Amino acid sequence: MYDKGTMSTSKRRKLAYHHGDLERALIDSGLAVVKRSGIEALSLRAVARQAKVSHSAPYHHFSSKAELLAAVAAAGFDRMVEGIRQQTTGIGLDDPLEGLRAIGRGYVMFAVCHPSVFRLMFRPELTRPSKHPRLLAAETRAFRTLLETIVGAQQSGAIVGQDPRPPAAFAWSTVHGLAMLHLDGVFAETPVGQIDIQILASQINESIISGLKAHPWQ
Amino acid sequence: MYDKGTMSTSKRRKLAYHHGDLERALIDSGLAVVKRSGIEALSLRAVARQAKVSHSAPYHHFSSKAELLAAVAAAGFDRMVEGIRQQTTGIGLDDPLEGLRAIGRGYVMFAVCHPSVFRLMFRPELTRPSKHPRLLAAETRAFRTLLETIVGAQQSGAIVGQDPRPPAAFAWSTVHGLAMLHLDGVFAETPVGQIDIQILASQINESIISGLKAHPWQ
DNA sequence: TGTACATCAGTGAACGCGCGTTCACTGATGTAC
DNA sequence: TGTACATCAGTGAACGCGCGTTCACTGATGTAC
């Protein structure tokens, strides 16, 4: 392996696309394409085009289109976790319910800010078969954030029950459904449409808390 | 217009594909294709093939692929409403909370029983542009079922608040997210996976009720 | 340090594919007389 | 009732398209001597 630190900038740039950085560049290009043009436009060739590389170059880093898209989706999960973490910072760790509110806010906000990426993350037919281990890991990482907060709420007594999974599934389902129905424009076509999504999200966030506190999760 | 009632069976069958029934046949074929082979296989040509008709025949009934799929999706909404109604029958109208439970059960059950149809119903890019008015109407019809039950719960005092839309959005989001995450296999890849979907659904159904009752929807 | 060689990340032509859509047609149907 | 005609729901050939994938290649890189 060569040492990047000893190279001039121009040499590093020249090398960048010749030793391992194209993988990262393709993932970034995938995110860029899906953000700009949506999921339908997210073809292997479009990603290669965006990366200014021939359409056969990706095959040196991903064995198929599905694997490439899985890597892009995994990157999406990582960015969502990052966004949620930003909502969490500056919040006292002593209040797990505030942590839950932050997760809900972060989840919906990510979906609203990056709708196409969010859609890609939940489009399993695009990454199948051979669902990339990286995608699985990224999903698990995202879910663990929620799970740990629920455990904290249970240990502090804010939520009754021992098993964190059902209440976690409830909270996740609610924010996920809210985000999806909003992105799909379903609310806009019904009487709900007149309600601002941010206001609706915080109302629903509170009702998640209420549901978590009131229902005996045993 | 001719009178179908005066025709022999064989003549009616012969005519069936020549005067207006192909539209219905194509919608049924669309449902059949998507159920059998999934959304990816749902092309205009596949639907025509299923209906045993040339691939240009659909153009006499739908102006584009998007319009055909919109009609199929609308049929899906109608079947879901029908399924929910089956869950509702045999329940005392005096208890609106039981009505809410029935809607939640029916929603998740439809998604589990007809996963591909359910996915099609919430894939707006397949029916755009020119989203069929029929699809909009079917969506609205489905949502109204929920909205009216919420209104009943509010009038009976089971839920606090005047505006039925936010609590309806909350309930819908939760069952929708649960169904979607389950169908996408997201739960299966996390610790939640070990929980039976029916049990999880009824637990979450109860927590929706709790959230609806506890939270001041004003 | 200089040279010969192996490695391997790129290129671009080529493939076969099913797709959505168009179009001239044909033949069964309903209608006017 | 019988005949001539208009209508229109079907057919099937044809189009151009972008796609995923393969393959022989080339040229820059790192390595062995």
**Widest pairwise Cα distance in chain A:** 63
Gap between the Cα atoms of A171 and A84, Å rounded: 14
Gap between the Cα atoms of A93 and A186, Å rounded: 36
Residues in chain B within 8 Å Cβ distance of A124: 184-185
Chain B residue with the nearest C-alpha to that of A194: B165
Contact A99, A152 (CB under 8 A): yes
Is B60 (CB) below 7 Å from strand C?
no
Total length of chain B: 218
A169 touches chain B (CB under 8 A): yes
User: Could you list the pLDDT tens digit for every one of the 218 residues in chain A?
Assistant: 333 333 333 334 444 566 678 999 999 999 999 999 999 999 999 999 999 999 999 999 999 999 999 999 999 999 999 999 999 887 766 788 999 999 999 999 999 999 999 999 999 999 987 678 999 999 999 999 999 999 999 999 999 999 999 999 999 999 999 999 999 999 998 888 889 999 999 999 999 999 999 877 76
Say which of B40, B176, B192 has its CB closest to residue A165.
B192
Q: Please enumerate in sequence order all residues whose Cβ is within 8 A of that of B107, keeping only pairs 6 or more positions apart, or say none.
A: B80, B84, B175, B176, B179
**Amino acid, res. A215:** H
CA/C1' separation B55–D14 (Å): 13
Gap between the Cα atoms of B216 and B211, Å rounded: 9
Mean pLDDT across B156-177: 95
CA/C1' separation B116–D22 (Å): 33
pTM of whole model > 0.75? Answer: yes
**Amino acid, res. A203:** Q
- Shortest alpha-carbon distance between residue B175 and chain A (Å): 7
Q: Which of residues 12-51 of A touch strand D (CB under 7 A)?
A: 14-15, 18-19, 41, 43-46
Give, in degrees to the nearest 5, the angle at Cα B146 between B143 and B147. 85
**Amino acid, res. B145:** T
**Amino acid, res. B40:** E
Structure tokens at A48: 């290669």
CB contact under 8 Å between A165 and B38, yes or no, is no
Gap between the Cα atoms of A56 and A48, Å rounded: 8
Lookup: nucleotide whose C1' is closest to B45 CA: C19
List alpha helices for chain A, DSSP H. Answer: 9-16, 21-37, 44-50, 65-88, 96-113, 115-121, 133-155, 165-183, 197-214
Q: For testing the chain B interface, which of A119, A120, A128, A173 should be mutated: the one with the most B CBs within 10 Å? A: A173
CB contact under 8 Å between A187 and B210, yes or no, is no
**Taking the alpha carbons of B22, B25, B31, B34 in that order, is the dihedral positive or negative?**
negative
